[in-house]
Amino acid sequence: MSFKDRVRKEVLVIDGAMGTLLQQRGLPPGWCPEEWNVSHPEVVKEIHKLYLNVGADIITTNTFGAIKAKLADYGMQDRVKEFNLAAVRLAQEVAHPVGAMVAGSVGPLGKFLQPLGPLTFDEVYRQFLEQCQALVEAGVDLIILETFGDIGEMRAALIAAADAGDVPVVASFTFDETGRTFTGTDPETAAVVVERLGASAVGVNCSVGPGQLEKVVQQLTQSTNLPVLVSPNAGMPEMVDGRTVFRETPAVMADYAGRFVEYGASILGGCCGTTPEHIGAIHQRVKGMTPKIRSNQFGLRVASRVKTVTIHPAGLPVAIGERLNPTGKKALQAEIKEGKTEITRRDALAQVEAGAEILDVNVGVAGVDQVAAMERAINALQVLVDAPLCIDSTDPEVIEQALKLYHGKAIINSVNGEEKSLKTILPLAKRYGAALIALTLDDQGIPPTASERLAVARKIVQRAEEMGIPREDIMVDCLVLTVSAQPEGVPETLKAISMVKQELGLTTSLGVSNVSFGLPNRPLINAAFFAMALAAGLDAAILNPQDQRMMETLRASAVLTGRDVRAEKYIAREQANTGTAVPTAASPKSAASPLEVLYQAVLSGDKDNIISYIDQALAQGLNAMELLDKALIPGIEEVGRRYGEGTYFLPQLMMAGETMTKSFERLRPELAKNPTKRVGTVVLATVKGDVHDIGKNIVSVMLANHGFEVIDLGKNVDNEEVIKAAREHRADLIGLSALMTTTMVHMPTVIKRVKELGLNCKVMVGGAAVTAQYAKEIGADGYAQDAVEAVRLAKELVG
């Protein structure tokens, strides 16, 4: 029986850790575990057997890192196929005779995709394709993409796995204690994205212990009808005598496994620290339990990397912001031509602030490379706002590039009933897991009657379903005609909305403002028509969310049509009488002061425009130190605060960090003066394991300005390297910076070495994690809270 059949009929047990068991059997630290598939096949096989003997139904191959990027660390990048083929063969030899299945394990690359990191979609896709093709060729029963923390990377891996062959794929993420992946994706969003990319099951593995995963498992099972895999670690790792220890007992793990099956999970196993004893106990607990088959109707769901928005016939109508469209907007057209994203960012934030839940993105300017323009827009927007994006283009190449880059589940605006459109757009929606707005027009144009438009909608849905796109991922646009030219068109549109909903059971959307072309006081006509369309059952509208009347109409109509149950949302809003959705960052107002603009630019990670903002501020007579102290540093501190409280996620932290680094590079020459008198030599470093260097760089420039020769060793600097540099340069002072509680522990080691070696050199410490009290405890000669204080202290210490 195949994996897909078995997982619906029985609760399956999947094996536990491989790496730790290999180490126990002599795998040297730092050696490539996958190489043992060829050099020590009997050891790998023995571990598989241990898991099969205790009842595993699925064993995973020893191929977690058998991919080019990871094998390159060992100089073995040319052995991808060899290691994967060997691993599958070993597993099959022991699994198939006892009726167990072999899952080809695929892990993440460990580097980010654009815009967070250097990798392109195509590069990442190619690497996953190479590994998955080898696994498929070797005959795996399924592939498991495991321990993924970044949804963008998971998308590329899933698309590659689907291209590699017709093998079921399990998409498994790691979630931390906050209940999100480290780049901020929540369980529902993870499920929504992978479901449409063809995953046969979704899961959570590694992460934390089973207790910390309970909520994640509940959310996953409630968010998808797919089978759910749960393979936690054997508790949280603890460091004991320099070794990582996992303490959760087999009995406790088994207990949780039983509970997870009750929530709806159907593939249970373990990850780091689990052993055959754990898996045996899980097997004993869950065997005989039956999987809960779920058949929830979720509606149309789209997602950014951190948020899912649902459009449901019974839910609240959704506003799709229309302002990121250059038609008739000269300034936006000029910006797109110049390759900038300033207005795009500002308008995106303003629309989200005004209540848009999804943003339509169109870069259609004549004579512009629209693929590149769309790329810029998507990259800027997907880490700026949490609203999912609607890709608005008629050019398949532009749509494809956007869908490759986007790390969530987008909507394509649009497909229509023309043969050419169906043939080009539907395959893109299928391949990249996107939802669709379906326009009810075809090769004959816009049909005049509602029933003809219904027929076009029916045809599009049928063609989409034939291609494997589920009908709930299609939202029908029944098209608005201009009332001044074709008054008979309005009732037909309204009728078509009702018919599409009743007869096809689909959600509907409209570009409402077309109705009022050519009339005075267009907002009035738009709002009245909008209310009528909502009464006919409209579920979403592409509109200007900054048009207050439209948003008020939407909210009031939701009450009147019973979609805002007990008027809860309406009342809450009226009571609060404030803005709407919490924006990811506030939009810089055009009249804002230069300092406010810079502050907001750091908050929104606007690395594309920060230099021009700084230039403008300097041109207005502000000095570099003022910009740092009054705008940039407060900005990055606010980012840190939001990250700490969980309203910002790693991508935003990274973008803000890059913006800050870019600012500093621009300001460095402004800050540097030419000191005359030499005061002393300082060796400066951010400590080992710590990559935060923004503050250290400021201290560095300030010390140089005040006559110190600064030997700046950079960030993540080994303790001994600091000592070596201090001796070599006969430093008067060592300056150590640390921003994390986990890295500041290197400071006492350096101080101890200075004392051991009897160096005639003082040690000054600083950085956000460090306090005066800590400095005293570890025996530092001084602590400085900021760069100005650091200069004063350094002068004092070198006498």
Report, in Å, the least distance between residue 495 CB and ligand B1M.
53
Q: Which is nearer to ligand B1M, 472 or 693 (CB)?
A: 693
Report, in Å, the least distance between residue 104 CB and ligand B1M.
29
Cis ω before 414 (30° cut-off from 0): yes
Residue 739 binds ligand B1M (CB under 6 A): yes
Q: How many residues bind ligand B1M (CB under 6 A)?
A: 42
Residue 692 binds ligand B1M (CB under 6 A): yes
Could you tell me which residues come within 8 angstroms of residue 73 by beta carbon, excluding any fewer than 6 positions away? Answer: 32
Q: Which is nearer to ligand B1M, 165 or 640 (CB)?
A: 640
Measured in whole angstroms, the distance separating CA 304 from the mean position of its chain's CA atoms is 8
Q: Which is nearer to ligand B1M, 98 or 691 (CB)?
A: 691
Amino acid in the structure at residue 85 = L
Residue 671 binds ligand B1M (CB under 6 A): no
Listed ranges 54-62, 96-104, 134-142, 760-768: which one lies at the site for ligand B1M (CB under 6 A): 760-768
DSSP states of 577-634: -S-SSPPSSPPPPTT--HHHHHHHHHHTT-TTTHHHHHHHHHHTT--HHHHIIIIIHH
From CA 27, how far away is CA 39, in angstroms rounded? 11
Report, in Å, the least distance between residue 758 CB and ligand B1M.
22
Which of 188, 695, 708, 726 forms a contact with ligand B1M (CB under 6 A)? 695
Name which of 300, 654, 742, 698 is nearest 477 in CA terms: 300
Q: Which is nearer to ligand B1M, 207 or 440 (CB)?
A: 207
Residue 683 binds ligand B1M (CB under 6 A): no
Q: What share of the chain is helix, strand, coil (3-state, %, to 5)?
A: 50, 15, 35
Strand partners, 319: 541
Which of 50, 558, 694, 747 forms a contact with ligand B1M (CB under 6 A)? 694
From CA 510, how far away is CA 505, in angstroms rounded? 17
Cβ atoms 428, 434 nearer than 8 A: yes
Strand pairing class (308-311; 300-303): antiparallel
Main-chain dihedrals φ then ψ at residue 55, nearest 5 degrees: 110, 15
Residue 182 binds ligand B1M (CB under 6 A): yes
Residue pointed to by tokens 């099956």: 261
From CA 557, how far away is CA 540, in angstroms rounded? 12
Chain residue whose CB lies nearest ligand B1M? 695
Report, in Å, the least distance between residue 664 CB and ligand B1M.
9
Report, in Å, the least distance between residue 176 CB and ligand B1M.
8
DSSP states of 28-55: PTTS-GGGHHHH-HHHHHHHHHHHHHTT
Listed ranges 358-366, 394-402, 668-676, 730-738: which one lies at the site for ligand B1M (CB under 6 A): 730-738
Which of 448, 742, 757, 777 forms a contact with ligand B1M (CB under 6 A)? 742
DSSP states of 143-160: EEEEEE--HHHHHHHHHH
From CA 706, how far away is CA 726, in angstroms rounded? 20
CB atoms within 10 A of CB 114: 18
Q: Which is nearer to ligand B1M, 456 or 787 (CB)?
A: 787
Amino acid in the structure at residue 469 = I
From CA 545, how far away is CA 323, in angstroms rounded? 9
Name which of 110, 121, 170 is nearest 146 in CA terms: 170
Which of 347, 547, 690, 712 forms a contact with ligand B1M (CB under 6 A)? 690
Which of 654, 745, 759, 798 forms a contact with ligand B1M (CB under 6 A)? 654
Helix axes of 694-705 and 787-797: crossing angle, nearest 10 degrees = 50
Q: Which is nearer to ligand B1M, 274 or 584 (CB)?
A: 584
Listed ranges 126-134, 420-428, 501-509, 786-794: which one lies at the site for ligand B1M (CB under 6 A): 786-794
Q: Which is nearer to ligand B1M, 297 or 742 (CB)?
A: 742
Residue 404 binds ligand B1M (CB under 6 A): no
Listed ranges 281-289, 412-420, 595-603, 688-696: which one lies at the site for ligand B1M (CB under 6 A): 688-696
Q: Which is nearer to ligand B1M, 58 or 736 (CB)?
A: 736
Q: Which is nearer to ligand B1M, 51 or 648 (CB)?
A: 648
What three-state secondary structure class fits 175?
coil
Residue 666 binds ligand B1M (CB under 6 A): no
Strand partners, 230: 204, 268
Residue pointed to by tokens 């309203």: 647
Provide the mask over 766-785, with x wherever binding to ligand B1M is found by CB under 6 A and - wherever it is not: xxxx--------------x-
Provide the mask over 575-614, with x wherever binding to ligand B1M is found by CB under 6 A and - wherever it is not: ----------------------------------------
Which of 540, 650, 750, 780 forms a contact with ligand B1M (CB under 6 A)? 650
Cβ atoms 161, 106 nearer than 8 A: yes
From CA 491, how far away is CA 372, in angstroms rounded? 41
Q: Which is nearer to ligand B1M, 612 or 661 (CB)?
A: 661
Provide the mask over 615-644, with x wherever binding to ligand B1M is found by CB under 6 A and - wherever it is not: ------------------x--xx-xx--xx
Report, in Å, the least distance between residue 435 CB and ligand B1M.
31
Listed ranges 290-298, 361-369, 501-509, 695-703: which one lies at the site for ligand B1M (CB under 6 A): 695-703
Q: Which is nearer to ligand B1M, 594 or 767 (CB)?
A: 767
Residue pointed to by tokens 């395959």: 427
Residues that bind ligand B1M (CB under 6 A): 182, 633, 636-637, 639-640, 643-644, 650, 653-654, 656-657, 660-661, 689-696, 698-699, 735-737, 739-742, 764-769, 784, 786-787, 790
